[in-house]
């Protein structure tokens, strides 16, 4: 189940520069064609690579709906749709299926101390924005917000989101499983 949760979390994920002061930061890629290449590592060794590409962007009411297609050499493409809103990032669809209830992935505006709970097949998990933090990954150096999921150190998952592109790093399993952004290519 932890591996399934890890894979689903990976599906939400980006790269970015700081947002202008008058505009709130957007922690997810929202431009058609934005492409992110990720590497996963176990115990410090690269295990695989996958590519996320924004394939559709649609403005709808208070949200920008962003469809991302994930390609991995050993599986069929994985498709998810994220609603980017002023109050957060919400998963609203997996493949062709719209979710009965949107899943809050990141509560906005992003401020240290903000918490929220997410219900899943594994029960309720607590999410906390811990702090702003500079993170270096193969794609570069990013000013991020650090989000911790769970309370138990053995099962803690940590996410680092950067403005404009989203997830740049994820760590779980006491840091034994890590995903990092290797490359970002801006779309049109």
Sort strands 123-137 and 140-149 into parallel, antiparallel or unpaired. antiparallel
Q: Quick one: tokens of 135?
A: 């993170």
pLDDT digits (tens, 9 = 90+) for 147-163: 999 867 667 899 999 99
> How much is the pLDDT for 22?
52
Alpha carbons 58 and 32: distance in angstroms, whole number: 10
* Owning domain of residue 28: 2-185
> How much is the pLDDT for 63?
94
Q: Quick one: tokens of 38?
A: 């990720």
Q: What is the CATH number of the domain that holds 84?
A: 2.40.360.20
Please give the tally of structural domains in the chain. Answer: 1
The residue written with tokens 């939400």 in the block is 12
pLDDT digits (tens, 9 = 90+) for 109-153: 999 999 999 987 778 889 999 999 999 999 999 999 999 998 676
């Amino acid at each position: 189940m932890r591996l399934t949760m890890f894979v689903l979390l990976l599906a939400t994920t980006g790269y970015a520069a700081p947002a202008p002061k008058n505009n709130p930061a957007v922690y997810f890629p929202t431009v058609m064609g934005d492409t992110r290449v990720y590497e996963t590592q176990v115990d410090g060794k690269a295990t695989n690579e996958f590519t996320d590409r924004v394939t559709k962007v649609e403005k709808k009411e208070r949200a920008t709906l962003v469809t991302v297609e994930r390609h991995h050499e050993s599986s069929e493409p994985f498709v998810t749709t994220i609603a980017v809103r002023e109050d957060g990032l919400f998963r609203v669809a997996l493949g062709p299926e719209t979710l009965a209830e949107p899943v809050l992935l990141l509560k906005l505006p992003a401020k240290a101390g903000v918490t929220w709970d997410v219900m899943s097949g594994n029960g309720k998990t607590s999410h906390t924005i811990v702090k702003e933090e500079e993170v270096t990954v193969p794609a570069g150096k990013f000013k991020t917000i650090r989000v911790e999921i769970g309370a138990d150190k053995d099962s803690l998952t940590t996410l680092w989101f950067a403005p404009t592109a989203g997830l740049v790093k994820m760590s779980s399993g006491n840091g034994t499983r890590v995903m990092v952004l290797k490359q970002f290519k801006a779309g049109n």
